[in-house]
A and B are shown apart, each in its own frame.
Chain A
Amino acid sequence: MKVLESGNHMVALAANAAAVEVVPAYPITPQTQIIEKVADLIADGEMDAEYIPVESEHSACAALVSASLTGIRAFSATSAHGLAYMHEMLHYAAGIRVPVVMANVNRALGPGWNIWCDHQDSISQRDTGWLQVYVASHQEAVDTVIQAFRITEDHSVLLPLMLNLDAFVLSHTYMDADIPAREEVAGFLPRYRPLWKLDPRKPVTHGSVVYPVDFSETRESMAIGQENAREVIRRAVSEFEEVFGRNHGDLIETYRLDGAKVVVVAMGSMAAESRVAVDALRDRGEDVGLLRVRFFRPFPTGELRELLAGRDRIVVLDRDFSYGNEGALYTEVKSALYRYADVPANNIILGIGGRDVTHTGIEELVLHSADGGLPEVTWGDSRISDGHLVTRDLLREFDELMDE
């Protein structure tokens, strides 16, 4: 069914198509319309799921996990501070091995209070054991929600998945996309068959105390699950293409990499914007291509090695920053290439707190990096000026209070 809808609404419609059975829900800008749409669909009789309007995000993740442990398909959505609030429970979800899917609308963490787009929220959760994918279009959001359950519920994976979509750029803009019907999806996505669950007919204890003598194995097992996910992702994507005729890439998506001397590496809507920049640069005779990272976890190390070796330069765009070091995607890209390929690279921090990222801006920065005119790590669009420096004045004012 073709619809013209916002990214948020599309995610909700896709979750319905995927026949989710329980949705714990807590609002936070700019994700709120996802859970509102779910409520509407249920009220209209178009969706058959249990709705739990919880009292906090920490509780949303708790309910998401415990519902899944009864053996059903569960889904939720959050953003920024909500995601941060449930941090403990993200670790819990991965540790107890439930295949839940959660949409995260990428938003900045404050203070200052900022509801607009950057990736700091999900990047901060990269060590939790969750699979992480970053979508760059409305159709991709829909298709990835459906594929997500296929991936997580695979018995060789059984790890939760965070589906990231950019605040406002994707969540609130309206595009047209196809929402597959439930019956069509059911063929591609069979019912969840849990390996372990809460069932009085077979009583077992979940989440026991595990002493050091056994704990490490639970964690290595999670690492293995992430590794297994690589092949499961590729298979899910190709089978989805066979059924629905669409492919947005597997762990990565490439654009005009053939003969590219400079490769832009980015995630989310900035990467989609980069395609336009690549076309403009190519028109100007620059051999530039794009490698869009879709899955940040598991990280596409093999793909990056294969596709980035031998290039002249890599320009990594980060919509996040790991304070005290550099952009997180940059660190991971360098780590993938370490001792494998020695390619000069630049890290450009862009779009923090929802600052608009334009293809012309990207073009200029790519050209600037090529002529060696950029420091290795640079805040591409941030300009601290005297207007930002209030510290000295404030200090004087508060000092005066002390003298009184």
Chain B
Amino acid sequence: MVSLKDLPEEELFLAGSTACQGCPSSLALRIAFKALGKNTVLVVVASCTSVLQGSYPLSAIDLPLMNVAFATGGASASGVVAGLRALHKRGDLDEEPTVLVWAGDGGTYDIGIQSLSGAAERETNFIYVCYNNEMYSNTGTQRSGATPLGAWTTTTPGGKAQQRKDIAQIMIAHRIPYVATASLAYPLDFYQKMEKAKAMEGTKYIELMAPCPPGWKFPSSQTIEVSRLAVQSGMWLLYEHENGETRFTAATKRIIEGKVKKKPVKDYLEMQGRFKQVLSSPEGQAAEDALEQEVTESIRRLHGWVPEYI
């Protein structure tokens, strides 16, 4: 059982970056780097992370890093993995580094889905982390395929009319060895999932919910609290899938087992300015109900059935 004491002290994310106050991506990078260590090659897909790392000639990330085009997360990783393998074969590289792709939901759900899917189908040996802030954050908070129903974005000013996709489920259907979801409110759960992924061969997909203070409209001090409510309300389910089995983890596990009561989705929605408009509109109740239904449907798909106390 790992505890915070066991997390390495070394920081590969260097303080003084261009990230916003309270940015979930910079925090997630910090924790991910502690799990993976220095023998890592990072591929950053066009996203906020391309920008929060600073600009030429300085960088906030103390790892070999390649900033790649928006659609190319999986493809760029494939090239890096092949190149490193070629170097290892000819004796120029002792231990093949871990290859980590860091992409947002835009570069994963939408424009990047092709290259992620291809890389997964080829059983490419890399870890793909999608940090999901449920919109195109870097270009100024437009909707993405991950934006939930009812959420305000600049391109859904009346609130999004459609439900979001579930890419983690799509990745399970790719039959890759490891699919997991994570939350910053459960940092040890995230850390352990990264460690687990590092030790495996094949494509490992981890999706982290990343509440964005300016995009979701909440104070920068609430990033962890919003992450927590997402899990406690079921809007973000924590699980891992390997060997054909799905296993809930952390607070989601406690909710499914009936040890802790699931909080209403409303509690989570009310923390964020992006839902204010839909909640106060005539469609508010319908949207809330639809989101609760999305939660139970996700649980049914993952668990097989929905416990009556949820």
- Asked if residues B55 and A203 are in contact (CB atoms below 8 Å), the reply is no
Answer yes or no: B39 CB below 8 A from chain A CBs. yes
- Check if B296 is an interface residue, CB within 8 A of chain A: no
Interface bin, chain B? 35 or more
Give the interface centre of B59, B74, B83, B84 by most chain A CB atoms within 10 Å: B83
CB distance from B74 to the nearest CB of A (A): 7
9-residue interface stretch from A57-65, A175-183, A375-383: A57-65
Cβ of A131 under 8 Å from chain B: no
The binding surface of chain A is classed by DSSP as mixed
Do A66 and B114 form a contact, CB below 8 Å, given A21-B83, A50-B82, A52-B79?
A: no
Given A67-B82, A70-B80, A198-B80, do A211 and B68 touch, yes or no (CB 8 Å)? no
Residues of A within 8 A of B114 (CB): 55-56, 59
Interface string of A107-135 (1 = CB under 8 A from B): 00000000000000000000000000000
Task: Let me know if A207 and B67 touch, CB within 8 A.
Answer: yes
In the complex, the answer to whether A59 meets B86 with C-beta atoms within 8 Å is no
Chain B 30-45 interface mask (CB, 8 Å, partner A; 1/0): 0000000011110100
Assess the A56–B118 pair: CB atoms within 8 A: yes
Asked whether B51 is an interface residue with its Cβ less than 8 Å from the other chain, the reply is yes
Q: Beyond A63-B76, A200-B97, A214-B56, is A88–B87 a contact (Cβ under 8 Å)?
A: no
With contacts A54-B118, A56-B118, A210-B55 taken as known, whether A203 is within 8 angstroms of B69 at the C-beta atoms is no
Q: Does A291 contact B (CB under 8 A)?
A: no
Q: Residues of A contacting B20 with CB < 8 Å? A: none
A208 at the interface (CB under 8 A from B): yes
Residue from B38, B59, B74, B90 in contact with A200 in the complex, judged by beta carbons closer than 8 Å = B38
Q: How far is the CA of A204 from the CA of B87 in the complex (A)?
A: 18
CB <8 Å contact, B80 and A66: yes
- Give chain B residues whose Cβ lies under 8 Å from the Cβ of A66: 43, 66, 68, 72, 75-80, 83
Task: Check A88–B83 contact: CB distance below 8 A.
Answer: no
Could you tell me if A52 and B66 are in contact, using CB atoms closer than 8 angstroms?
no
A136, B287: Cα distance in complex, Å: 65
A67 vs B79: C-alpha distance when bound (angstroms) = 4
- 8 A Cβ contacts from B78-128 to A: 78-80, 82-87, 89-90, 92, 97, 114-115, 117-118, 121-122
Contact with B along A77-106 (1 / 0, CB 8 A): 000000000001100100000000000000
Q: How far is the CA of A199 from the CA of B89 in the complex (A)?
A: 16
Question: Which of the four size classes fits the interface of chain A?
Answer: 35 or more
Contact of B56 among A64, A68, A72, A211 (CB under 8 A): A211
**A2: interface (CB < 8 Å):** no
Q: Which residues does chain B contribute within 8 Å of A197, judged by CB atoms?
A: 64
Question: Closest B-chain residue to A58, C-beta based?
Answer: B71
- Kindly name the residue among A60, A63, A206 whose own CB sees the greatest number of chain B CB atoms within 10 A: A63
Q: Answer whether residue B249 sits at the interface, using C-beta atoms and an 8 A cutoff.
A: no
Residues of A within 8 A of B63 (CB): 200, 203
Contact B72 A58 (CB under 8 A): yes
Question: Considering the chains assembled together, what is the distance between the CA atoms of A199 and B40 in angstroms?
Answer: 9
Residues 355-387 of A, flagged 1 when their CB comes within 8 A of B and 0 if not, give 000000000000000000000000000000000
9 contacts between A and B (CB under 8 A): A50-B82, A62-B79, A66-B76, A71-B92, A72-B87, A200-B64, A203-B64, A206-B65, A207-B68
Given A22-B82, A200-B38, A208-B55, 8 additional A-B pairs, CB 8 A: A59-B72, A63-B78, A65-B79, A66-B43, A71-B87, A89-B69, A197-B64, A200-B64
Closest 4 pairs between A and B when the two form their complex, measured CB to CB: A70-B83, A55-B118, A66-B79, A63-B79
